[in-house]
A = this chain, B = another copy of it.
Amino acid sequence: MKKFTCVQDIGDLKAALAEAFEIKNDRFKYVELGRNKTLMMIFFNASLRTRLSTQKAATNLGMNVIVLDINQGAWKLETERGVIMDGDKPEHILEAIPVMGCYCDIIGVRSFARFENRDYDYQEVIINQFIKYSGRPVFSMEAATRHPLQSFADLITIEEYKKTPRPKVVMTWAPHPRPLPQAVPNSFAEWMNATDYDFVITHPEV
């Protein structure tokens, strides 16, 4: 698997679930698997659950972890092409990505939708550049349109709690004080549709 950004990338869902339950049952079973391997976690946005769970998961696999918060410890990265770089971003992401790839074995990227340009967001420009230029397997820690790790975790939870083989799953719109990216519900819908669940999206009138 060279990338994991959507449900199609994980292959057979039942096999993936079986592997997840195997590891949940014995979390250090594969602690030798990652020996001398390094995960690089790259955050363009804040993270709590995904940051902690991914770092812990890599540790459980015996991997080393390097965490890079862009705009904090590293140089600010110019992410647009064709701009004159005379501002506050001294490095271009297209040069930085292969550098990051040099020093790790797998890369996780978090890069949210920016709400400045719909096409830019939907094209997943940031994570796709990592996939194209890093030379390493890349997985999404939530990108502009999908959040596969959370969707997979949701699926695992439903499998653990479901009381019928083919449960009814309802996702509902809800009000929020500010506009939010839709990566989580988008992604969840795709994963639910990849199962044989009875999946419904509802939009209650306020």
A contacts, CB < 8 Å to B:
28, 31, 36, 38, 40, 43, 46-49, 51-53, 55-56, 59-60, 64, 66-69, 72-76, 85-86, 91, 96, 99-100, 102-104, 177-178
Chain A contact surface mostly = mixed
Chain B residue contacts of A178, Cβ below 8 A? 86
A46 touches B59 (CB 8 A): no
A95 → B minimal CB distance (Å)? 9
Contact of A73 among B47, B76, B102 (CB under 8 A): B47
B72 touches A47 (CB 8 A): no
Instruction: Report the copy number of this chain in the oligomer.
Output: 3
When C-beta atoms are compared, the residue in chain B nearest to A48 turns out to be B74
With A56-B38, A56-B104, A59-B64: A48-B177 Cβ-Cβ less than 8 Å: no
A48 touches B104 (CB 8 A): no
With A36-B28, A56-B38: A51-B64 Cβ-Cβ less than 8 Å: no
B69 touches A52 (CB 8 A): no
A52 touches B36 (CB 8 A): no
Chain B residue contacts of A56, Cβ below 8 A? 38, 66, 103-104
25 examples of A-B residue contacts, CB within 8 angstroms? A28-B36, A31-B36, A38-B59, A46-B73, A46-B76, A47-B73, A47-B74, A47-B75, A48-B68, A48-B74, A48-B75, A48-B100, A49-B99, A51-B73, A51-B74, A52-B66, A52-B99, A52-B102, A52-B104, A56-B104, A67-B73, A69-B72, A72-B73, A86-B177, A86-B178
A103 → B minimal CB distance (Å)? 4
When C-beta atoms are compared, the residue in chain B nearest to A76 turns out to be B46
Q: Besides A56-B66, A86-B178, 16 other CB < 8 A contacts?
A: A28-B36, A31-B36, A38-B56, A40-B52, A46-B73, A47-B73, A48-B99, A51-B73, A52-B66, A52-B104, A53-B103, A55-B103, A56-B104, A59-B64, A69-B72, A72-B72
A132 → B minimal CB distance (Å)? 19
